[in-house]
Amino acid sequence: MRSVTRWAQAKGLGRSGGLVVEVGYDARTVVREAVSGRAVAELVGARHGPHLVAFGPGADSGVLAFAPWEGAVELWWFEERRLQRLEPSGPGCSALAWSADGARLLTGDVDGTVRVWDVREAREVHRIDLRPEGSRRRMGTRTLAWHPDGRRFALAAAGRGVELRDADGGSPPRTFDLPAEPVTRLVFDPAGEFLVVLQPGDCWVQPLGPGDPYRLPGQPGWAYCAAVAPDGGAVAADGEDGAVRLWDTRSGELRHTLFGGDRTVAGLAFDPDGRELVVAHLDGTVTRWSRASGALLAEHRPPADDSYDWERIGCACGRGAAHVPADLERLLTARTAEEASGRGLYGHVVRDCLLSEAALPVALLGTAALRRGGLSGPARRELVELLSAIADAEAVTEACERGWERLGDRCRAAMAEGVPLLHRLLAEEADEDLMTLLCDLGEDREAVERAFWATRDREAE
């Protein structure tokens, strides 16, 4: 199972598609040329590496913003080989976005705090708390996007829909009339005339001037990546089936469906002249496609020497986690309940509400498998039960001694990307483990329980 041994925690593309960043489980962060795969810079910095990455603006920018698992956002000026930490830090960063001129950075925390940073001075200049006054509910920011004018930004947070706000907080926010569904990505066109909004099964174009939002056809299931061509004439987005779709923005016509194999898409970017679309995949593969014809122009596969060293990863059995990839593969490919048994995972990855170091890659890989789809019913239910057990646990003593004191928080942050999908699954099946997992990931307990019982009632009809 190649994806188990070649997993990257995070991946991103430079805005022109000229650079790709890869982050391994061992916290090694590498910036490569997208076409040749040549390493441009390498950082062995934070002990556990970032889980969010965002290139600075401009063609092949020399700065990268990333949020390590402990939540403090850092700027890596990789051409200058310099790290810059942004303080004060929040409880955990869930969204990043650069202004078009690179002077400011937006960060969204899991507690609903949005911060505007002056990058040159490395200081916070404005803060917005999305939670109602006196509320302790987690209003995690799902995605952020700067308007090209640098004065406004769009955000989507749990329970709030899509809003357009002034960066200095001077005017009331504008709320868009879109379906009340989770939002996974927001992207402005370069001219600032419209906003692309990704929701489950939908890709919307929301004009900022006169006009109603319109839906681009053919978007299947969940999507997490989107890009707009430099001239604003094309929109690209990934889909639950692993394909990337390319639309004509003005007519709304679906022009091409680009299928690069059974690989999860991690980033999309048009080149500066808008003639090519660059696609980064979580397995490290980078593909380039013609916008005009939809033809595959080039494919670069990553070097084969950046896999997990499973024998060095701690496991509760005390013998290393070398057996975990095969055990996880057996679960994910199972067709029956017996085949989906969590043997080799329970008592090893998690035991008696205690986590071994192997829990983090399993949480990452398990969440990606849910997003990718194609699991049998027994495999999906067993995987959700395993992820629920991980979400409800904390680090074992041996892991703490090796620097993994916040292992539980890191696992929950890794699984948080799958929250919108988990809500959809709960609407399809009244699974108590799904309900528990969503609550452990910080979702509103009352709302989750209502959804569970609504599904249970439909099943009983």
Tens digits of per-residue pLDDT, 286-344?
889 999 999 999 887 765 544 566 777 888 888 888 888 888 888 888 888 887 876 67
Could you give the 3-state DSSP secondary structure of residue 200? coil
Predicted confidence band at 260 (pLDDT cuts at 50, 70, 90)? low
- Cβ pair 334, 379 in contact under 8 A: yes
- Give the per-residue pLDDT at 2: 26
CA 46 to CA 67: how far, in whole Å?
10
Which is higher by pLDDT, 284 or 436? Answer: 436
Predicted confidence band at 69 (pLDDT cuts at 50, 70, 90)? low
Predicted confidence band at 228 (pLDDT cuts at 50, 70, 90)? very high
- Cβ pair 167, 126 in contact under 8 A: yes
Which is higher by pLDDT, 46 or 407? Answer: 407
The region of weakest confidence among 32-46, 269-283, 359-373, 423-437 is 32-46
- Give the per-residue pLDDT at 181: 79
Rounded to the nearest 10 degrees, the angle between the axes of helix 432-440 and helix 445-460 is 170
Predicted confidence band at 5 (pLDDT cuts at 50, 70, 90)? very low
CA 28 to CA 14: how far, in whole Å?
18
Predicted confidence band at 383 (pLDDT cuts at 50, 70, 90)? very high
pTM of the model: 0.72
Burial class (CB in 10 A: 0-12, 13-18, 19+), 146: buried
Q: How confident is the model over 191-211, as a mean pLDDT?
A: 93
Output the CA–CA distances (angstroms, integers) from residue 448 to 179, 414, 440, in the order listed: 19, 20, 11
Dihedral angle of Cα 130, 132, 138, 139, to the nearest 10 degrees: -30
- Give the per-residue pLDDT at 136: 54
The region of weakest confidence among 157-161, 231-235, 250-254, 433-437 is 157-161
- Cβ pair 392, 407 in contact under 8 A: no
| Residue listed under structure tokens 């202004």 | 99
Extended beta strands in 110-182, E state: 113-118, 123-129, 141-146, 152-157, 161-166, 174-175
- Give the per-residue pLDDT at 11: 56
Which is higher by pLDDT, 388 or 372? Answer: 388
Which is higher by pLDDT, 48 or 58? Answer: 58
CA 348 to CA 90: how far, in whole Å?
32
